[in-house]
């Protein structure tokens, strides 16, 4: 039986600011999110095994997600001076990435089958091998919620977890699927 209280403690130790229960049946994988990826505003589309199209079709991603019933939503919230505070936005994004990487190591040691999704492309290697060579660390690679077609605000509200924590705050979202 999965000890979710213990896992929540580990997640807090990794640096997340908010953690909530995730009902995997409420996860919707939407082609519209994939369409936004294809616009390549983040410049990662077609450049990383963790991003579309390298991370697989939406149907392949759905097959992976539907193996699970429960998990946790993992959030990192930070404060901005104003809506143009790009330095703080970068810092919050980096803090979330570090928390995801740290937590993925911990959870992988306890539940090797657990699946962690973060925000943005995998950054384990300085340069991703995509598409010329296979991924160097397929067991460690962390794809993003968006790559799996998930609208992060929707999955938070479906699970009764806030996504908005007030004016001049920014929240990055990840999740772990465990059982
Ligand atoms: S582990 Fe390396 S090769 Fe694999 S997706 Fe991440 S950056 Fe690319």
Q: Work out the burial of residue 54: count CB atoms within 10 Å of its CB; fewer than 13 is exposed, 13-18 middle, 19 or more buried.
A: buried
Summarised one tens digit per residue, pLDDT across range 81-125 is 998 999 999 999 999 999 999 999 999 999 999 999 999 999 889
pLDDT at 128: 96
Q: Average of pLDDT values for 131-143?
A: 94
Ligand 1 centroid to Cα of residue 159, in Å, is 30
Ligand 1 centroid to Cα of residue 22, in Å, is 26
Summarised one tens digit per residue, pLDDT across range 141-155 is 999 999 999 999 999
CA angle 44, 133, 130 (to 5 degrees): 5
What sign does the CA torsion over 15, 174, 76, 161 have?
negative
Summarised one tens digit per residue, pLDDT across range 11-63 is 999 999 999 999 999 999 999 999 999 999 888 999 999 999 999 999 999 99
- Structural domain containing residue 126: 4-177
Rounded distance between C-alpha atoms, residue 44 and residue 41, angstroms:
8
Ligand 1 centroid to Cα of residue 143, in Å, is 10
The two structure tokens encoding residue 150: 């998930």
Ligand 1 centroid to Cα of residue 166, in Å, is 35
Total domains, the chain: 1
Query: What contacts 168, CB < 8 A, 6 or more positions away?
Result: 79, 80, 81, 82, 83, 85
What sign does the CA torsion over 4, 23, 56, 143 have?
negative
109: number of Cβ within 10 Å: 10
Using an 8 Å Cβ cutoff, are 149 and 30 in contact? yes
49 lines ligand 1 (CB under 6 A): yes
125 lines ligand 1 (CB under 6 A): yes
């Amino acid at each position: 039986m999965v000890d979710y209280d213990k896992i929540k403690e580990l997640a807090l130790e990794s640096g997340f600011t908010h953690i909530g229960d995730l009902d995997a049946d409420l996860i919707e994988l939407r082609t519209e999110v994939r369409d936004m990826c294809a616009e390549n505003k983040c410049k990662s589309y077609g450049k990383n095994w963790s991003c579309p199209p390298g991370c697989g079709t939406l149907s392949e991603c759905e097959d992976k997600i539907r193996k699970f019933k429960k998990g946790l939503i993992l959030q990192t919230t930070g404060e901005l001076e104003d809506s143009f505070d790009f330095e703080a936005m970068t810092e919050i994004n980096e803090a979330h990435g570090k928390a995801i990487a740290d937590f993925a190591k911990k959870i992988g040691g306890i539940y090797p089958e657990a699946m962690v999704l973060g925000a943005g492309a995998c950054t384990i290697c300085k340069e991703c091998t995509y598409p010329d060579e296979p991924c160097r660390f397929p067991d460690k690679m962390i794809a993003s919620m968006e790559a799996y077609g998930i609208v992060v605000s929707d999955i938070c509200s479906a699970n009764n977890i806030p996504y908005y924590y007030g004016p001049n705050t920014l929240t990055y979202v990840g999740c772990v699927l465990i059982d």
